[in-house]
Homo-oligomer: A and B are copies of this chain.
Amino acid sequence: MEEIKTLTERTSDAIVSYIIKQELKEGERLPTETELMKILDVSRTTLREAIKMLASRNIVEARQGSGIFVSRNTGITDDPLGFVFIKDKKKLVSDLLEFRMMIEPRIAARAAINATQKDAEELEYLAREVEKMYELGKSHKTEDAKFHAKLGEISGNLVFPNLMPIIFQAIDMFIASTNAELKYETIDTHRAIVEAVKRNDPDAAEDAMMMHLIYNRNYLRNYNDRTID
Interface residues of A (CB under 8 A from B): 1, 8, 12, 16, 19-20, 23, 49, 52-54, 56-59, 73-88, 91-92, 95-96, 98-99, 102-103, 106, 157-160, 162-163, 166
Closest residue of chain B to A92 (Cβ to Cβ) is: B158
Q: Please give 13 more A-B residue pairs, beta carbons under 8 A apart, in addition to A59-B82, A75-B82, A102-B102.
A: A20-B85, A23-B87, A53-B53, A56-B56, A75-B83, A75-B84, A76-B80, A80-B80, A80-B81, A88-B158, A98-B157, A102-B103, A103-B103
Within the complex, which residue of B19, B52, B76, B87 is in contact with A52, where a contact is CB–CB below 8 Å?
A: B52
A82 to B72 CA separation, bound complex (whole angstroms): 11
Closest residue of chain B to A161 (Cβ to Cβ) is: B81
Q: Is the CB of B82 within 8 A of A76?
A: yes
Closest residue of chain B to A142 (Cβ to Cβ) is: B1
A217 to B88 CA separation, bound complex (whole angstroms): 36
Q: Is the CB of A86 within 8 A of B53?
A: no
Within the complex, which residue of B59, B75, B78 is in contact with A1, where a contact is CB–CB below 8 Å?
A: B78
Give chain B residues whose Cβ lies under 8 Å from the Cβ of A53.
Answer: 52-53, 56
Q: Is the CB of B162 within 8 A of A82?
A: yes
Closest residue of chain B to A73 (Cβ to Cβ) is: B82
Within the complex, which residue of B57, B83, B159 is in contact with A77, where a contact is CB–CB below 8 Å?
A: B57
Closest CB-CB distance, A49 to chain B, in whole Å? 7
Closest CB-CB distance, A170 to chain B, in whole Å? 9
